[in-house]
Amino acid sequence: MEKVTVLGAGSWGTALATVLADNGHDTLIWSHREDQATEIHEHHTNAKYLKDVTLPANLHATANMAQAIEHASIVVMAVPTKGIRETCQKMMQTLDKPVLFVHVSKGIEPGSLLRISEIMREELPASVIEDLVVLSGPSHAEEVVKQHPTTVAASCESLVAAERVQDLFMNQYFRVYTNPDVIGVEVGGALKNVIALAAGAVDGIGYGDNAKAALITRGLAEISRLGVKMGAKPLTFMGLTGMGDLIVTCTSVHSRNYRAGFMLGEGKKLEQVLDEMGMVVEGVRTAKAAHQLAEKYDVALPISAALYSVLFEDKTPLDAVDDLMLRMKKREMDEIYNN
């Protein structure tokens, strides 16, 4: 049995804490909000984030960071990308021992263009990082808490650390693979949210399955193109954290990115959409990062660019789709021509 603290009590932090508690680990969840910690600790619910779910009786919660850190030999970081730095800084007020970190967030920071593990390594001294593992893949919290079969990957250069995380989470309904390609896993997890916003938008416009299949396929092409330039292994994008997560996020009603995109496609403005969602829509910030990454790495990301123009340049979704369709002629796969 391990002593685990999950930082972040939204949908995903709570769902993963449930998996850990189900597996018999001594699990404590930390919320930055006192009321939410009390709700989880005393009533075994987290109604805003997981409706009609009763959490395991052996899952405890606190809003006290010092207590949360004192408890842990493993820390799972499950706050949205924009809260990662602040949470690391809060943690460092008391953390003075090495722990194994697992992060489960999916984003890239605009401006710095850092992946989550890079942000964490910037904020945390090496002396407190025993290892840092990314857990990612096609996994909606709403299905995990129902114990529906789910598969993800634990990614770290150290196979020993990845396998420790595999053992920590793995059970009958939650299957964990390992993958050493941290860059590919993080880039796939972050960029699929941008494509999912676009997939929601084409459905919101009222277009059909042809358009969505095109977005998923060409979306994967642009994610891979960028990821490889950033140092990822191409095959990772064919796996759970690439194609797998792209499919689940572009096609599921559970996806906040897909649902936000749908509302944009219906003609709603971004501010109104985010107000109505009330939960994190990671793809919005990551779309800014994608825009900057395209320039930095000199890579064409046409779907991400079209989405960016809808989010931040007031282009209508219909015009953005027209622009995509009327781009200059392309070869589907340059590699085939070159061989």
User: Residues forming the annotated binding site for sn-glycerol 3-phosphate?
Assistant: 106, 137, 139, 192, 245, 255-257
Task: Kindly name the residue from 90, 192, 212, 288 that is annotated as catalytic.
Answer: 192
Site map for ligand NAD, 47-86, x if CB under 6 A? --x----------------------------xxxx-x--x
Give the contacts of 156 (CB within 8 A, at least 6 positions apart). 131, 132, 133, 134, 162, 165, 178, 180, 182
Rg (CA), the chain: 20
**Position with the least CB separation from ligand NAD:** 10
Task: Please say whether the dihedral angle defined by the alpha carbons of residues 254, 257, 262 and 267, taken in this order, is positive or negative.
Answer: positive
C-beta separation of 205 from 265 below 8 A: yes
Strand arrangement of the beta sheet that strand 174-179 belongs to: 59-62, 26-30, 3-7, 74-77, 99-103, 129-136, 150-155, 174-179
How many residues of this chain interact with ligand G3P, rule: CB under 6 A?
A: 14
Binds ligand NAD by CB under 6 A, chosen from 18, 62, 105, 236:
105
CB-side exposure of 12: number of CA atoms within 13 Å?
Answer: 25
Whether 192 is catalytic is yes
C-beta separation of 49 from 10 below 8 A: yes
Distance of closest approach, residue 33 Cβ to ligand G3P, in angstroms: 20
Distance of closest approach, residue 164 Cβ to ligand NAD, in angstroms: 20
Q: How far apart are CA 256 and CA 281, in angstroms?
A: 6
Binds ligand G3P by CB under 6 A, chosen from 8, 10, 138, 219:
138
The listed partner (ligand NAD, ligand G3P, none) that binds 49, CB under 5 to 8 Å by sort, is ligand NAD
DSSP β-bridge partners for residue 3: 26
The listed partner (ligand NAD, ligand G3P, none) that binds 117, CB under 5 to 8 Å by sort, is none
C-beta separation of 286 from 108 below 8 A: yes
DSSP β-bridge partners for residue 268: none
Of the ranges 25-33, 203-211, 254-262, 321-329, which one interacts with ligand G3P (CB under 6 A)? Answer: 254-262
Distance of closest approach, residue 321 Cβ to ligand G3P, in angstroms: 21
Distance of closest approach, residue 89 Cβ to ligand G3P, in angstroms: 24
Residue 107 as a binder of ligand NAD (CB under 6 A): the answer is yes
The listed partner (ligand NAD, ligand G3P, none) that binds 86, CB under 5 to 8 Å by sort, is ligand NAD
Residue 248 as a binder of ligand G3P (CB under 6 A): the answer is yes
The listed partner (ligand NAD, ligand G3P, none) that binds 79, CB under 5 to 8 Å by sort, is ligand NAD
Residue 196 as a binder of ligand G3P (CB under 6 A): the answer is yes
Q: Which residue positions form the known binding site for NADPH?
A: 11-12, 32-33, 49, 106, 141, 256, 280, 282
The listed partner (ligand NAD, ligand G3P, none) that binds 257, CB under 5 to 8 Å by sort, is ligand G3P
Give the contacts of 151 (CB within 8 A, at least 6 positions apart). 137, 138, 139, 175, 176, 177, 240, 244
Of the ranges 2-10, 118-126, 136-144, 226-234, which one interacts with ligand G3P (CB under 6 A)? Answer: 136-144
Phi, psi of 194 (to 5 degrees): -70, -45
Q: How far apart are CA 40 and CA 61, in angstroms?
A: 6
C-beta separation of 200 from 258 below 8 A: yes
Distance of closest approach, residue 11 Cβ to ligand NAD, in angstroms: 4
DSSP β-bridge partners for residue 224: none
Residues noted as catalytic: 192
Q: Which residues bind ligand G3P (CB under 6 A)?
A: 106, 138-140, 193, 196, 245, 248-249, 254-257, 282
